[in-house]
Structure 1
């Protein structure tokens, strides 16, 4: 494995191989990763820590609100340009808000609201935001169905970094069990485990056990249950710019009702698409896409999206600046705040 260039902002093939390995098995130990990748354990550990420290990647545990009977909303906040950055920054600091970006040449904030209750959501959308002087209007759409999945299916642009044999060695051998009502009943100590995984999806069972106040063995069983039932999903968050994707955009599609599922499935298979979902409103499908440059975005929209049957209209909203993805703040073009 050659010397990493992560610190200088450039990623090499070995970085891509490690990133892809973590996508396939986010909590895999360094010893196992070293065996599959054919390098020393110390080299893998050192490279991982360098990538994380430089803001290239972060493994996180993301709670699926739908599994817990909660909902997510995509909100578009139209602002006066002079007040948009302040609104975006304030939203990014909220625990119940994710995927915050400045769009439309700086006059719109797009975010995802994951409020724990209807009261919390209404407090933000009905009371707080409308009272901000620089907010002109807002549109909120509930996410009805997510087509993309976190973890192993993300960033398929790196699929070729590993051989099929290497990828097969890292894919989980056991199929995910269907969730039962008993599995989905959170136990008192689960909240501490979920918070620990949100901070670091690779946190050891010992560290999680300390935070939860239970034994490491019991913690291991709960982590496995929470992952297998889909309560928490492990994801490798990445700096898109570090991978060469410098042009981001939100796509708002109006799709014929009988074609929504087919269009969503097609979008989920495209490596440029980081997120795709069916939503309420006139634009009934939303997608967040990552392209290398504007010409790449133009070709993607006209050739790929334009060829999808059932797409009746499309609005492209380029991202001027991203401030947050999931629960991770973005500084410049890197993930922020992780030693």
Structure 2
């Protein structure tokens, strides 16, 4: 298959299967999809190249008793690339993008402590040259995102296939989950490769196979650890990415959020602090499709008082950072 070629139904099934369970063995996926193990492995390798597919382990900050923050920074045009790159290299950021006009950088930050949050928001960013404004928005309630990604809405799998591939349900949270140093070392490996083998996890962490298995099961069953599929959105026909900052009447906050979560265009929606109290990320085939979505879907939502639309020009970081490749001079 040539680079840039459209994905076929089996590719889409594989992507959705991995979104359901990022560590599902190829043998189980193959059995459910009715193909050989070798076919699934070959398709996976092809998607790694063509779609820059990566399966990454992600921690649910809510399960750890931590908050996530979305930070908007406006800066002079000559500073945006450098600022975005610096934020992307930080281990406490999970998403960084350059937005409309090339003068806005947005990042999702997951500080491990109040001190780490304050150091970045009130000290470092405020003193960064050519940053003209900083606004920080705490994520109050996610409506869609996290373990639920856009691929869950792909409908590539049949209901029976989806049921066969879905992992056991996560236990109901009874309070924050505490992590020890061995948990953290395991999570550090999975953040870079969610499909790292047991042998690779043993070697990297110095833990026994039985301990790795027990800790993996605990982290997953408590919902602390889930797996996300990172890939090029363009191969799924998503040429236009937008961030919608919605100002919603408080009485309509929950209803608007739940409706957004059902929209096939929405990979992420959450209630946040600030005048614009819902943020939704959306994906579209064209600018015309974005216009239709705004006018027909968003415009029809009762309680929406205003919406600010910012186009995403480029993702600099999505879960993990890879330096942008540039041509040799």
TM-score using structure 2 length: 0.93
Residue aligning to 1:284: 277
Displaced runs of 4+ in structure 1, greater than 6 A?
none
Query: For 2:189 and 2:63, how far apart are their aligned partners in 1?
Result: 19
Find out whether 1:98 has 2:91 as its counterpart. Answer: no
Once the 2 structures are TM-superposed, how far is the Cα of residue 298 of structure 1 from its aligned partner? 0.7
Decide whether the 8 Å contact of 2:60 with 2:146 is kept in 1: no
Q: Which aligned pairs between 1:238-317 and structure 2 lie closer than 5 A?
A: 238-317=231-310
Find out whether 1:162 has 2:153 as its counterpart. Answer: no
Q: Which aligned pairs between 1:5-154 and structure 2 lie closer than 5 A?
A: 5=2, 7-154=3-150
Residue aligning to 2:169: 175
Once the 2 structures are TM-superposed, how far is the Cα of residue 194 of structure 1 from its aligned partner? 0.6
Once the 2 structures are TM-superposed, how far is the Cα of residue 144 of structure 1 from its aligned partner? 0.9
SS state at 1:178 partner: coil
SS state at 1:208 partner: helix
Provide closer, same or farther for how the CA distance between residues 114 and 176 of structure 1 changes in structure 2, counting only shifts above 3 A: closer
Once the 2 structures are TM-superposed, how far is the Cα of residue 165 of structure 1 from its aligned partner? 2.0
Consecutive unaligned residues of structure 1, counting only runs of 5 or more, are 333-339
1:319-338 residue CA offsets vs partner (Å, 9 max, x unmatched): 11111112244748xxxxxx
Once the 2 structures are TM-superposed, how far is the Cα of residue 154 of structure 1 from its aligned partner? 3.0
Query: For 2:282 and 2:323, how far apart are their aligned partners in 1?
Result: 17
SS state at 1:245 partner: coil
Decide whether the 8 Å contact of 2:149 with 2:267 is kept in 1: no
Query: For 2:107 and 2:179, how far apart are their aligned partners in 1?
Result: 27
Query: For 1:265 and 1:180, how far apart are their aligned partners in 2?
Result: 24
Query: For 1:245 and 1:314, how far apart are their aligned partners in 2?
Result: 21
Residue aligning to 2:208: 215
SS state at 1:281 partner: coil
Q: How large is the Cα RMSD of the aligned pairs? A: 1.8
Query: For 1:179 and 1:218, how far apart are their aligned partners in 2?
Result: 23
Aligned residues: 325
Decide whether the 8 Å contact of 1:155 with 1:271 is kept in 2: no
Once the 2 structures are TM-superposed, how far is the Cα of residue 224 of structure 1 from its aligned partner? 1.3
Decide whether the 8 Å contact of 1:322 with 1:330 is kept in 2: no
SS state at 1:52 partner: helix
